[in-house]
Amino acid sequence: MKDKLGQYYPILALTVVVFISIAVLSGMDSFTRDTIQYQKELKIQRMLNQLFREMSAYDFDESTEIYTITADDTKIGYAFLGVGVGYGGNIDIVVGLENKTTLRGIAVIAHAETPGLGDKILLPDFTDKFVGLDISEVNLTRDGGKVDAITGATISSRAVVDGVRNAAMEKAEFLPD
């Protein structure tokens, strides 16, 4: 068969291999798709649970990208993602609001800050300072706000503060008073 096809044989061989690969991978995709989707939702739920321990359900609005959190059918707050530009790249933060202007808390979910210095933004020592603040107070102390920067990690601290404040201000117009 090799000789009969001559110069077209390589094309045929490669095509066959690619089609077999496509078949195997589409099978694999349909086998894992639901589980991967479920894991993603679980991750979001766990992330929201960090800020709203009493949460019983959440609702995600696709257009505004805001999660509305409920506990026993009463609305207890909102959450959304914010991004700060840190020392090692983007810092992804989940911001929780009790109402339009009051922070419930924050949690850093992904970052690439320096271990031992910038990664202290993960610790409760830092994130607890955001609890209960008004959005207008979210700034470093030296910039007139109420959040103390981490010693030796001003850039990382400022990135988180800016990320939280910008996200909260951006989403404020979508939130009811």
Partner 1 sequence: MAKFWKQFLSGIVITNPLFVLALGLCPALAVSVTVTNGIGMSLATAFVLLGSAIVVSSIKNFVPNIVRIPIFIVVIASFVTIADLTLKAFIPTLADSLGIFLPLIVVNCIIMGRAEAFGSKHPVHLAIADALGAAVGFAIAMIIISFLREVLGTGQLAFKVVPYFDIHLFTLPVLGTDPMALFILPPGAFLLIGLLLALFRRLGVLKSE
DSSP state of 91: E
DSSP state of 177: -
Residue from 53, 63, 115, 177 touching partner 1 (CB under 8 A): that is: 115
Pairwise CA distance, residues 36 & 156, whole Å: 32
Pairwise CA distance, residues 28 & 15, whole Å: 20
How many chain residues bind partner 1 (CB under 8 A)? 24
Residue from 35, 63, 74, 151 touching partner 1 (CB under 8 A): that is: 35
> Residue 43 or residue 75: which is nearer to partner 1 going by CB?
43
Residue from 41, 45, 46, 141 touching partner 1 (CB under 8 A): that is: 46
Closest to 35 (Cα-Cα) out of 25, 47, 43:
43
Contact positions toward partner 1, by CB under 8 A? 2, 9-11, 13-14, 17-18, 21, 24-25, 28-29, 32, 35-36, 39, 42-43, 46, 114-117
